[in-house]
Amino acid sequence: MARTKAIVAGLACLLLVSACGVPMQKIPVSTDPLGATVYADGKKTCASTPCSVSLDRKSDHLLTIVKDGYEQEEIVLHRQFKPDKAIRDGFISGMILGDGPEGVASRTAKEVDEQERSGEAYVLTPSIVTIKLTPKGTGI
């Protein structure tokens, strides 16, 4: 009985920690040549590549890459639905708590819904940005 309570308490703590704040994802950005400035959704986020930008997973984002003497590049990062973790979390908590098949299914659906609303069920793609910058005036 004490073990079950400890497991339930541990799961509750994990749920509380994961529910705080907006889920973020670090996206490494590199350019050839190095030293470009990166803007995320119009805000300067990196003064010189290579670097990483931290973006919330609740929406798509536009990265703009600028370097004097080179064409400006824009990359759209799309959020992609990945419910695997939510399904696993709901299934495990339902099994640990001894729910029947309907309870496990209900917990799983609830977990997917919660992680979809929080943004936790999404990842941004591409997860790494590597750009070869085009010199201005080359017509390429």
pLDDT digits (tens, 9 = 90+) for 40-54: 999 999 999 999 999
Secondary structure tally for the chain: helices H, strands E: 3, 8
Nearest to 60 by CA among 70, 74, 49: 74
Instruction: Report DSSP state, residue 70.
Output: B
pLDDT digits (tens, 9 = 90+) for 88-135: 767 777 667 666 777 767 766 776 667 667 767 788 999 999 999 999
Q: What is the 3-state secondary structure (H, E, C) of 2-50?
A: HHHHHHHHHHHHHHHHHHCCCCEEEEEEEEECCCCEEEECCEEEECCCC
- Give domain limits for the chain: 2-132
pTM of the complete model: 0.67
pLDDT digits (tens, 9 = 90+) for 1-32: 555 544 444 444 444 444 457 899 999 999 99
Residue type, 69: G
Mean pLDDT of 53-66: 95
